[in-house]
Amino acid sequence: MTTTDLSDRTVELSESLSRRLDKVAKAYGATRAEAVEYLVRWALDRIESRPAIADERAQRADARNDPRLDWWRDAKFGMFIHWGLYAIPAGIWKGQEIPGIGEWIMYRARIPVAEYEQLAKQFNPVKFDAAEWVSLAKQAGQKYMVITSKHHDGFCLFHSKVTDYNVVDATPFGRDILKELADECQKQGMRLGFYYSQTQDWHHPDGDGNDWDYDPAQKDFARYLEEYVKPQVRELLTNYGPVALIWFDTPKGITAEQSESLVELVHELQPDCLVSGRVGNRLGDYASAGDNRIPAQAVEMDWETPATINDTWGYKVNDHNWKSTEDLIHKLVDIVSKGGNYLLNVGPTAEGVIPQPSVERLLAMGRWIDVNGEAVYGTRPGPIQGVDWCRSTVKPGRLFLHVFDWPTNGEIAVPAGAVDPARAYLLADPSVTLPIERYGDTLLIKGPAKAPDAIDTVIVLAET
Ligand code: FHN
């Protein structure tokens, strides 16, 4: 993009920002377009150089070997569900496309509470079928599901006594979505966790974020936490059977004492329930990477990447930027090879339908996992790290080589120091042994000339 393009396409700037920009340009004897380009590059470099896992969202040190996490450590792949009133406008407010992620529409368009809450009267997802959603997650190979019980807009997808602003009391639908999902998860043997926005709440006068209806100076966050958040967390952990985890989010400004008190409350109510790293202050049971961020190397922590299939979490009618199945499988394997879990999001429509492009991709991932799940679930990072063409995972006695780029001659070269296998075979067809030749520091595994799996062929290097 040239600087002229940049100035032409510069997003609408507020007057004060515009003035500051002109000042910078003038001070450096540059044009406005050059100043924009320079600042954008600087900001992007800063953003890209942030660690994938921010320190405040890291894992509590004493959780690293906690057996309560064993199921989660082995699960590797989960379904995230962002669902709420924002699915109704689906990215468009009063005929205008609102930029950004769909569930932020209230904030981005500065929609007054009195107006936004009217959406509840239209929320009637008659096509919602908990059994279908759970079954989709199972077919995709996902081992746990996490749904938004309350996102930043404050609307609750569960029957809460703390507020009427919930799916049972405020909508024509009148059914407790979390209850139906929890019952179905029990039935189908799926673990279920609840996302809960503990700091941002644009509906509540004391919640963080809404400065267009409420004066920030009048907000009492401690009161909100004690009188609203904690009673709701208590409801979530009392009325829905065993809860796998509470996925707190955007810790923004929460103190260590406040984070700690939430962790304690969760553990007191359900000792086995995990708490996401986004409770803040390095107090979560596991670490949370930034949205769609994948660390460059294996990480010595239990961690998870929450990620989108397109660009939004909550449904947006005009977001068609779907990642390919190949990309999604590579991301899953990349994450697993570095010791993480992949929590992949779907954003159902206002009718309660998971968009077809998401369904197709999840089913395709499931088909790959049906064949190769052994090299994913229950594995740990393998010794071959930091190369583009493959990833590695291990289980006792076996190394799984995930080959993304199959060599044209079918000869796979791996460093001999990393493994000393007695046998090599394709995970998809264990009956065929692949010849292994040793050349000094290199092992040459002789596979077929054509990649058996165009996305990721898994070769097993077995010790016996
Ligand atoms: O602000 C939220 C966003 O809407 C979404 O829920 C993601 C999911 O990880 N979390 C926050 C941003 O990091």
257: which 2 tokens? Answer: 């004492």
Does the C-beta of 344 come closer than 6 Å to ligand 1?
no
Task: Report how far ligand 1's centroid is from the alpha carbon of 258 (Å).
Answer: 20
Does the C-beta of 313 come closer than 6 Å to ligand 1?
yes
271 burial via Cβ count (<10 Å: 0-12, 13-18, 19+) = exposed
Q: Write the residue with the smallest CA distance to atom 7 of ligand 1.
A: 291
Does the C-beta of 277 come closer than 6 Å to ligand 1?
no
Alpha-carbon radius of gyration of the chain:
24
Cα 265 from Cα 262, distance rounded (Å): 5
Rounded to 5 degrees, φ, ψ at 125 are: -75, 75
Report which ligand 1 atom has the smallest distance to the Cα of 290: 13
Instruction: Read off the pTM.
Output: 0.93
How high is the pLDDT of residue 428? Answer: 98
Q: Which parts of 213-307 fold into alpha helices (H)?
A: 221-224, 230-236, 256-269
Q: To 10 degrees, the CA torsion angle through 97, 100, 102, 103? A: -130
Does the C-beta of 405 come closer than 6 Å to ligand 1?
no
Does the C-beta of 250 come closer than 6 Å to ligand 1?
yes
How high is the pLDDT of residue 11? Answer: 61
How high is the pLDDT of residue 6? Answer: 45
Task: Report how far ligand 1's centroid is from the alpha carbon of 50 (Å).
Answer: 17
Does the C-beta of 101 come closer than 6 Å to ligand 1?
yes
Task: Report how far ligand 1's centroid is from the alpha carbon of 82 (Å).
Answer: 9
The predicted-structure confidence for 375-434, as pLDDT tens digits, reads as follows 999 999 999 999 999 999 999 999 999 999 999 999 999 988 878 899 999 999 999 999
Task: Report how far ligand 1's centroid is from the alpha carbon of 177 (Å).
Answer: 21
Strand partners, 147: 81, 194
Task: Give the chain's residues under pLDDT 50.
Answer: 1-9
Does the C-beta of 201 come closer than 6 Å to ligand 1?
no
What does the buried/exposed string (b/e) look like for 422-441 if buried means 16 or more CB atoms within 10 Å of the residue's CB?
A: eebbbbeeeeeebebeeeee
Task: Report how far ligand 1's centroid is from the alpha carbon of 249 (Å).
Answer: 7
Task: Report how far ligand 1's centroid is from the alpha carbon of 191 (Å).
Answer: 21
Cα 149 from Cα 224, distance rounded (Å): 17
How high is the pLDDT of residue 13? Answer: 73
138: which 2 tokens? Answer: 């199972």
Rounded to 5 degrees, φ, ψ at 419 are: -150, 160
Ligand 1 pocket, mutate which of 83, 86, 101 (most atoms under 8 A from CB) = 101
Residue position matching structure tokens 């999604």 = 328
Task: Find the helix or strand (DSSP H, E) in which 72 lies.
Answer: helix 70-75
How high is the pLDDT of residue 355? Answer: 98
Give the number of residues written for the chain.
Answer: 464
Does the C-beta of 248 come closer than 6 Å to ligand 1?
no
How high is the pLDDT of residue 8? Answer: 43
Q: Write the residue with the smallest CA distance to atom 5 of ligand 1.
A: 313
Nearest-CA neighbor of 84 among 143, 145, 171?
171
Ligand 1 pocket, mutate which of 249, 292, 315 (most atoms under 8 A from CB) = 249
